[in-house]
Amino acid sequence: MSYRSITRRIRGVGAIALLGAILMHGWPAVAAPQHRGAPPTGSIRAFVTKVVDGDTIHVRIGTTNETVRLIGIDTPEVVDPRKPVQCYGREASARTKALLDQQTVYLQADSTQGDRDRYGRLLRYVWSANGVDTNLLLISDGYAFEYTYALPYRAQLAYKAAQSSARSAQRGLWSPSTCAGVVVATKTRTATKSPTPTRTATATPAGTVSAASAPCSVGQIKGNRTSMIYHLPSGAYYAKTKLSVQCFDSERAALLAGYRRSTR
């Protein structure tokens, strides 16, 4: 047998062994550590000019102003004019402000997520000058949910593990004394008064929460963060889905967020 034949056989055996390992254990994942001692190589220096809410910030990169959406996290709503303020939204915003406002940070891109979202915001991991992954820290301390949009991101396993730890320890929004992991509308924003309608209103007021729709508003779709399945108001499990819930105004929004429709 020639040397070339022997080499081909060895390579074939190696490929089979590798394939078997992948099938048994899955592809290896890269997990970002919470503290590195220094920002990661390749990250871009920026200055935080404003914290919009728990997961969105304004930064200045050189002479350019940008809006940044933190990868892999979702904090309760507090500024979206279409939605009421949600449980722990103000606390999450205050925590992000305490960590990042008027601070020098380092922005790290993730090739699995694209450069920007559909609103034109940069998608980035945000690191402190001393190497703390702010995205991960917010999940670990119970100020944010782990959030996967469409495709898994590089640090997904680490972020999911951090959420599991925060949930088990009942930190932040996972505490029974706060939200118990359920993002419930706490207060509707003050809005400009509209003229009194000339006809009798019969529709349910926006932001109303019923026993069946809780923690979402009436008519909203419920997404189960654990199973990544969404339930329509007419679904068999809609009323039963109350823990670790994300609310959506449309099926399209749920699908874009990576959820799949319940079969019942």
Q: Where do the domains of the chain lie, and which CATH numbers do they carry?
A: 44-174 (2.40.50.90), 207-264 (3.40.10)
Query: What local confidence, expressed as pLDDT, does residue 36 receive?
Result: 62
Query: What local confidence, expressed as pLDDT, does residue 34 receive?
Result: 53
Q: Which two tokens stand for residue 81?
A: 């004019």
Q: Which residues does 221 contact at the CB level (< 8 Å), separation at least 6?
A: 230, 231, 232, 233, 247, 248, 249, 250, 251, 253, 254
Active site residue 91: no
Q: For residue range 195-242, list pLDDT tens digits in order.
A: 334 343 344 455 677 888 888 888 889 988 888 898 988 888 999 998
Q: For residue range 153-162, list pLDDT tens digits in order.
A: 999 999 999 9
Q: What is the mean pLDDT of residues 55-71?
A: 98
Q: Considering the candidates 4, 11, 60, 121, report the single residue annotated as catalytic.
A: 121
24 has pLDDT over 90: no
Q: What is the mean pLDDT of residues 51-80?
A: 95
CA angle, corner 146, sides to 140 and 151, nearest 5? 140
100 has pLDDT over 50: yes
Q: Considering the candidates 4, 9, 45, 69, report the single residue annotated as catalytic.
A: 69
What does pLDDT average to over the chain? 81
Active site residue 167: no
Q: Which residues does 261 contact at the CB level (< 8 Å), separation at least 6?
A: 229, 230, 232, 251, 254, 255
Q: CA of 78: how far to CAs of 4, 92, 132, in Å?
A: 66, 9, 25
**Residue 206 identity (one-letter amino acid):** A
pTM of the model: 0.62
Measured in whole angstroms, the distance separating CA 50 from the mean position of its chain's CA atoms is 20
Query: What local confidence, expressed as pLDDT, does residue 150 receive?
Result: 84
Active site residue 121: yes
Q: Considering the candidates 77, 91, 124, 154, report the single residue annotated as catalytic.
A: 77
